[in-house]
Amino acid sequence: MPLTLEQIRTNCKKARESIERARTGHYALGAFNLDNQETLIAVARAAKAKNAPLMVEVSQGEVEAMGLDNVRDMVENYKQEYGIEMYINLDHSPSVEAAKAGIEAGYEFIHIDISQADHKATEEDIIAHTKEIVEYAKLTGALVESEPHYFGGSSNVHTEAIDYDEIKKTFSTPEGAKAFVEATGIDTFAAAVGNLHGSYPVPKVLDLELLARIRESIGCNISLHGGSGTPGHYFVEAVKIGVTKININSDMRRAYRDTLEKVLAENKTEYAVVKLMDDVIDSVQAVVEAKLDTFNSSGKAVVGL
């Protein structure tokens, strides 16, 4: 059932208050990608078990697979069923039209990422499109996130090594972050400090000193994409610095697939797939719970206000 504009605005107001509490309390909301309903159940159960505020998110491929409104309705249903603080982020929305659709559907967080569809998009184009979404988001109060250039990697399990010499060429700078935030008016800046989409054979290394300088240069929220495969101590320090949103996808996908393959191998005569999903859900839930502890968000949920 569609939400009324009043309901959407209320949810967005709560989301803004939640992020402000995270900023003040030095913790981050985990943003966990959904592949299907089982993943959503795992995230919702983790939020309940840890009493933690969090986001679920879908990118364009997941929107096309599940439907923008269907995701919103499922999230609303599980939020009510479990009595949890949970929001929705439209992740890496590749166009103005797609981002506007997310705002109209009632998503509380919108990540407009023009460079996702066009890796060679100019900063001028990115700024212009981002400003348009910042203005449009005033309809509901949704929080808008963006960055001034393409962010590398993909939400998968990679076998190649990380080329840090190349990645460092795309690192955010305090000066660039400040200029972009001032030019666009965004609520959240997606910082690049060694984080990279996907998981890799070696752990990621974050430049925390650079992150601290970026934090000092801008007044808005900071997110970290590509959280999978990152040693937890980086996140412990990142939330102390002031990061309030951390994206996780590949670690969940690895747990999901590895567990599913094991369950299928052990149950070759069972064709009722629903009976095979308990262990899969449990394994994804365990990943989410561990992240919530690392992000210092366990015990921080506010429900019912």
Give catalytic residue positions. Answer: 91
- From residue 137, alpha-carbon distances to 46, 124, 129, 303 in Å are 30, 20, 12, 24
Given a contact cutoff of 8 angstroms between Cβ atoms, the answer to whether 150 and 122 are in contact is no
Structure tokens at 22: 């995270």
Query: How many angstroms separate the CA atoms of 114 and 111, rounded?
Result: 10
Structure tokens at 75: 């999230």
